[in-house]
Structure 1
Amino acid sequence: MITFEQKLAIIESFPELERVNVSLGRVNYQFNESIYEKKNVVYHLHPNGNGFVYAGKLTNYQTDQKGLVNIRDYSAEELKQLIKESISSLSANKKTVAEAAIIGENQEERWVNDANEVLMLILEEEVWNIYFGLNLEETFDTLEEAEAFLMEEGFKRA
């Protein structure tokens, strides 16, 4: 088991996380760029070494009902990997295998609305396509038309 101080050093090596002190000497670290309501990546890290990392959107970790993984006995490398994957799972830049297949080598942008819904705008064979997940929603001849549509619908670049 690595110490509380070692865990803090690892967590603080991720500049995208913001420290929030909570009660009883515990610390949370939030990812404020999360496209989901979930912002806490590290939850209730305690000076005794106990704490949790959010992995609710990951499939390769055993989580509790809140999507948290207990990191008490994690090694430094395991903790770094889990935090990296957690941040990626909450990020607008995360691509699924299916999305990567759609995007391929094409130019792509992500747009998000206040409800944290994400649309992909992709240039494909000289037209601009808007996808919601794997579903094609709209097609436009120009980037300007696509951007105007997205803004009218309440989306902004992620």
Structure 2
Amino acid sequence: MPLIEKGRVVEDRFHRIGDDEALPEGAPVLIGIDRFLREAEALKGRQAPVGVIWPNDRPIGEIEPYLGQLSLIALGFPIFRDGRAYSQARLLRERLGWTGPLRAVGNVLQDQFLLMQRSGFDQIEAVKQADAAAFEEVVHRYSAFYQPATDERPSLLRQRLGRTARPE
């Protein structure tokens, strides 16, 4: 699957590793939450980046004690109509202060790219190569927004009030 990062197709440097597979030495890995929690203490000493795939049916607040250990958080979209990962992304960015890479994985469709970007995702695992090619057009389709979001584009209300900065 193509990986889109900040509008460009990039090579995924993280290796997705199953729960029963050995972790490759020196390579960035992306593992499931059950394995991460089981091995969290041992992973602290790992010399390569560790990312976690966080399911959308688990409270995102549980990840807070581990944020310092992680180099990537991937949030899952098991089906296109399940949007809980959008809320998780906003909570990670706005309440928990996560500034690292945030990846959307699973059933990710082209018409969701703009909302994913506005919710705080900076990496998207596209389903098809054509989706990745359409990313730039999709995220710039609209120039005005009613809702505030985690991206830097101000809502119409903030524009009308002359404020583009996020309130403190």
TM-score (norm 2): 0.28
Query: When you count strand as a share of all residues, which structure comes out higher?
Result: 1
Q: Greater RCO between the two (CA within 8 Å, min separation 6)? A: 2
When you count helix as a share of all residues, which structure comes out higher? 2
Q: TM-score, normalised by structure 1?
A: 0.29
